[in-house]
Structure 1
Amino acid sequence: MGEHGRKRAGAGDNFWQYRPAQPGDARRAIDWRQSARGDDHFVRETEWQAAQTVMLWVDDAASMRFSGGKRPSKLRRAQTLALALAVLAVKGGERAGLAQLAEPPKGGRGQLIRIADALMEGGDVPEYGAPRPQVMPMGSRAVFLSDFLGDPGPLTDALTSAADRGVTGTLLQVLDPDEEAFPYDGRTVFESMSGAVRFETLKADRLREDYLERLHARRAQLRDLCARTGWRFQLHHTDASPEAALLALYTALEKRR
């Protein structure tokens, strides 16, 4: 991480190409060793290098507060991973930004403190989250962390807009193991995290097949969206190692250089 080549001539340390000298080029710009091989003069150009930007969106909706056991909530795991990514990016010389912040992406310790404060802010939230309608810097990289169980429309719009600006990234679906296994049987009362929706059934096990079918259909929809926009899809359960998830995200970001 840090300084990345932009595949064109500019300020940098790495050799990019030789080009024929043109009127107006300074004499010191001419590579005399290369020019001595023939009758023409050549200018040695370097590749333009600049720090890249990592944009983060953490879904802080009510559904992310769910935990089916003595495990961290989906929200706490997503916050932890996002902040860890921001720390790695800033320490590597990158700029980090958070969709919840109005300020542009920045580097430095002060930015990490702002990101941490923004991640921990409370307040009224909807049942399910959607990416903030924020324009991401051209060519930046991004990570969206959510359960992605709400309306997929805003997410589709966000990734389509990002792809149009050359932004690549990763969707990390964070789920509690109980949401994956649906270990409910007999009389069960299901209630949304906000309390707005409540459903009681005497035979919860009969809902398992339909529920899992819809969950798998949503995951297939997310994978298809990523394939169409050039993003990656990853799945993480809150009972799994956060270090493994962080390493996978970090590796995916590096491959986008």
Structure 2
Amino acid sequence: MERDADTAVQSAAQSAASLVAAMPRLVLEARRIAATVYHGVHGRRRAGAGENFWQYRRFVDGEPSNRVDWRRSARDDHLYVREREWEAAHTVWIWPDLSPSMVFASPLARETKRDRALVVAFALADLLVRGGERVGIPGVMRPSASRNIVEKMAESLVHAASLPDSLPPSFSPSPLAEVVVLGDLWSPTPEVVASLVSLSASGAHGHVVQVCDPVEETFPYTGRVEFREPESGTRLTIGRAETLREDYVARVDLHRTAIRREAERHNWTFLIHRTDRPATELLLALHARMSGGAPQPAVRAPDDAPSEREPA
């Protein structure tokens, strides 16, 4: 027990030190990616209470007649309503998994899962704040619309009492809020499902992103291989690793299917992102979903088999 506790403390200290050292680079990368994407996307505009004109739409039977724009309607055979842009601040909770399992990168990856999750979280926050939204980190930072949101998030994480764990903390977002979960989601299936049930209980909308390394999808191992569980330090040695590939792929498929079904049951979205793919790819996909764009396929390279546990 003492040895396990010492290992956990040492691992946490190393993760924190690594995060502090990497933070300046990650902030700059997030700023660069956000600037690149910003010029190619539109804000999250939608109808609601406000002063700025947004669009005309057809009048619907049952609406008050004083909503009709008679000047626009006089130019056509239909009645039109003049809609204004919604201006109320919207809260988006972004949760990046910073547990030890995220500090992993195979030779096939561009960066660790932790770094990718943070870069996307920061860049997404920057885009959202530019669009007039408020962004917070559950259990770490209250919602803010600061123009320096990236630096504010980075500072909050560096000075947090503890780094975000494998699954989001228990909290009740507003029914009008939105939640973005960025993690590898390799916790036991019932725990992941229970977390989604808790987060969606208030009626909040959300997006779940599984960030994984390429080898966690393809399981390319052969021969004698030792695997280490990064959370507990448990080790498992397998004589012929290739014989487990088929079962591995099947179990991961079941795991992801259960997460996707639970997400869809609450009208949430589920994406899969590999760290050998560009961060801008995930950022664009997330922004499209949050802006009410058409559903897109899960973000993953084609013809790759899924996987489950993190090898080391």
Do both proteins adopt the same fold according to a TM-score greater than 0.5, normalized to the shorter chain? yes
Aligned to 1:204: 241
Matches of 2:284 and 2:185, distance apart in 1? 21
- Structure 1 residues 71, 20: closer, same or farther in 2, change over 3 A? closer
When structure 1 is superposed on structure 2, of 110-119 and 54-63 the one drifting more is: 110-119
- For the pair 1:178 / 2:220, whether they are aligned, the reply is no
- Residue ranges of structure 1 left out of the alignment (5+ in a row): 22-30, 35-43
Q: How does 1:124-135 map to 2 (within 5 A)?
A: 129-135=166-172
Q: Would you say the 8 A contact 2:184–2:212 is kept in 1?
A: yes
Q: Deviations over 1:113-153 (max 9, x none)?
A: 22122345688769x71111122122122211111110344
**Gap regions ≥5 residues in structure 2:** 1-42, 72-80, 294-312
Contact conserved, 2:175 with 2:205, CA < 8 A, in 1? no
Aligned residue type for 1:180 = E
Match of 1:84 in 2: 123
5 Å-filtered alignment, 1:156-235, equals: 156-194=193-231, 196-235=233-272
> What aligned pairs does 1:135-154 form with structure 2 within 5 A after superposition?
135-154=172-191
Would the aligned equivalents of 1:3 and 1:52 in 2 still touch at CA under 8 Å? Answer: no
| 2:91 and 2:136 in contact (8 A); partners too | yes
Question: Residues 74, 13 of structure 1: CA spacing in aligned structure 2 closer, same or farther, 3 A cutoff?
Answer: same
Q: Is the 8 A contact 2:93 2:135 kept in 1?
A: yes
1:254 alignment counterpart: 291
Indicate whether 1:56 and 2:94 are aligned: yes
Alpha-carbon distance change, 59 to 202 in structure 1, aligned in 2, over 3 angstroms: same
Post-superposition CA distance 1:62-98 (Å, at most 9, x none): 1111111153111110111010000000111111111
The answer to whether the 8 A contact 2:140-2:160 is kept is: no
Contact 1:12–1:46 (CA under 8 A) maintained in structure 2 = no
Distance 1:3 1:205, change over 3 A: closer
- Distance in 2, matches of 1:130 and 1:177, equals 21
Structure 2 counterpart of 1:67, one-letter code: A
Choose which of 150, 154, 174 in structure 2 pairs with 1:112.
Answer: 150
Compute the displacement of 1:207 (Å).
Answer: 1.5
Kept in 1: contact 2:126–2:150 (CA 8 A): yes
Q: Describe the shift of the 1:94–1:123 C-alpha distance in structure 2 as closer, same or farther (beyond 3 A).
A: closer
What residue identity is the alignment partner of 1:77?
R
TM-score by length of 1: 0.78
Q: Which residue pairs with 2:47 in the alignment?
A: 5
Higher strand residue share: 1
Judged with a 3 Å threshold, the aligned counterparts in structure 2 of structure 1 residues 90 and 176 are, in CA distance, closer, same or farther, namely same
Q: Is the 8 A contact 1:81 1:242 kept in 2?
A: yes
Aligned residues: 236
Tell whether the 8 Å contact from 1:65 to 1:75 is kept in structure 2 after alignment: yes
Q: Distance in 2 between matches of 1:65 and 1:122?
A: 18
Tell me, in whole angstroms, the C-alpha distance in 2 between the residues paired with 1:124 and 1:75. 15
Cα 1:152/1:88, change in 2 over 3 Å: same
Q: 2:137 aligns with which of 98, 108, 118?
A: 98
Which is worse superposed, 155-164 or 233-242? 155-164
